[in-house]
Amino acid sequence: MADPFLSIQSVKKSFGNVAVVKDFNLDVGAGEFVSFLGPSGCGKTTMLRIVAGFEEPSAGKVLIGGKDVTGLKPNQRNIGMVFQAYALFPNLTVAQNIGFGLKVAGVPKAEAQARIDEMLGIIKLPDFGDRYPYQLSGGQQQRIALARALAPKPKLLLLDEPLSALDAKVRISLREEIRSIQKKLGITTIFVTHDQEEALSMSDRIVVMNEGRADQTGTPFEIYNRPSTKFVANFVGTLNVLEGTISDAASGTVKINAEEIGLKGKLNGSKSGDTLSLALRPEAISLGRKAGNDSNLTGQIADVHFLGSVIRVRVGVGQNVVSLDTFNSPSSPPPVVGQKTEISFSSGDVLVLH
């Protein structure tokens, strides 16, 4: 990246002798929305706190706007932050909460009031200025927390699981709202989450973290469709895994149970006789043969879940069970448990997990 706005360079962090962040590198462009995604304990929050300045790295540097800020305090970095727990001041009104950073910065009263009103408009709560936090829903409190973080016009917004305490419906609507406010203001943003759907739906790019490292950094499309490690493939999305044995490495033939499929060009140096884990997303598999699919396997319907517009079917293929989704068709009956069936897919969609 030519001119990253945020640059995290070879950052490491240990607590005692436990390495929590191991050589983390990332460049984030101006206005970009990047998520840190990973399971609990992988070091996401620690990395965010290092960017914020709440935590000092054991090694490495953080640059914001081209300037080395590694030794600077959080209030010298021009950042806004929102946390998981509603961290509003309970004894201050909404307007006072939003204006808090402006007051600290000595912004004149009239100017602060104008900014507070502007922020209340941006978060679509224009008449809420005189309320107290206890008079707000969880979703409204998080919107106020966002407004409070953005009021002093920070150059970098850091969000640490801001939606995880909210119920599912509010969470989805706030996702869209946060993203639209972020785009409107063009503010560079780092978003920490363990929720893959949240990361996939909101981000320009995702950093999938595993045990203190960035396993893969890419767009949601790349992360989902071309996972570069077994960990990423398993952590992001539902994955069907079929065990296969290479019957002929030269021609790329792989045997699954008694049947064979061709995976030429995907075996990456593996030899005949090697066993492989082959992974397929549910939406890459069709029930029955389908034009354009070059691979077929025989199986037996193990389970049928009617979900309305979509029917999720589980098919036993030898020792493995694969899930696939078909659309409901009002004129044809759903598949029946126990029925023999073929499944088909394109060999191009098979992920070979080494």
Ligand X SMILES: Nc1ncnc2c1ncn2[C@@H]1O[C@H](COP(=O)(O)OP(=O)(O)OP(=O)(O)O)[C@@H](O)[C@H]1O
For residues 322 and 257, is the Cβ–Cβ distance under 8 A?
no
In this complex, which beta carbon is closest to ligand X, that of residue 43 or of residue 237? 43
Count the residues of the shown chain that bind ligand X, applying the rule CB under 6 A: 11
Identify the DSSP state of 58.
S
In whole angstroms, give the CA distance from residue 289 to residue 3. 49
- Beta carbon nearer to ligand X, 23 or 259: 23
What does the angle CA 42 – CA 45 – CA 48 come to, to the nearest 5 degrees? 125
Do the beta carbons of residue 186 and residue 110 sit within 8 Å? Answer: no
Stretch that binds ligand X, among 39-47, 106-114, 278-286, 323-331 (CB under 6 A): 39-47
Least distance to ligand X, CB of residue 155, Å = 23
Residues 221-280 that bind ligand X (CB under 6 A): none
81 binds ligand X (CB under 6 A): no
3-state secondary structure of 241: strand
Asked whether position 40 contacts ligand X by CB under 6 A, the answer is yes
| CB 49 to ligand X: min, Å | 8
User: Hey, is 186 helix, strand or coil?
Assistant: coil
List strands edge to edge, sheet with 340-345: 286-287, 340-345, 295-306, 310-317, 320-327
Residues 6+ apart with CB under 8 A from 221: none
- Of the two residues 4 and 43, which places its CB atom closer to ligand X in the complex? 43
The answer to whether residue 38 forms part of the interface with ligand X (CB under 6 A) is: yes
Q: Which of 43, 162, 218, 220 binds ligand X (CB under 6 A)?
A: 43
Q: Contact between 162 and ligand X (CB under 6 A)?
A: no
Strands of 145-250 (E only): list them. Answer: 156-160, 188-193, 205-210, 213-218, 240-248
Minimal distance in Å, beta carbon 48 to ligand X?
Answer: 8
Exactly one of 1, 3, 10, 41 binds ligand X (CB under 6 A); that residue is 41
Comparing CA positions, the residue from 182, 297, 203, 313 lying closest to residue 243 is: 297
182-201: which residues touch ligand X (CB under 6 A)? 194
Q: Does 319 bind ligand X (CB under 6 A)?
A: no
- Indicate the SS3 state at residue 180: helix
Maximal CA-CA distance, the chain: 78
Q: Which of residues 45, 141, 216, 286 is near ligand X by CB under 6 A?
A: 45
- What's the closest the beta carbon of residue 46 comes to ligand X, in angstroms? 3
Residue nearer to ligand X on the CB measure, 15 or 306? 15
Report in angstroms how near the CB of residue 162 gets to ligand X at its nearest: 13
Nearer to ligand X (CB atom), residue 56 or residue 111:
56
Measured from the CB of residue 310, what is the shortest distance to ligand X in angstroms? 30
Question: Interface with ligand X includes 42 (CB under 6 A)?
Answer: yes
Parallel, antiparallel, or unpaired for β 259-262 and 340-345?
A: unpaired
SS3 133: helix
Q: Of the candidates 187, 80, 98, 175, which has an alpha carbon nearest to the alpha carbon of residue 136?
A: 98
According to the binding rule CB under 6 A, does residue 57 interact with ligand X? no
Question: Which residues lie near ligand X (CB under 6 A)?
Answer: 15, 20, 38, 40-46, 194
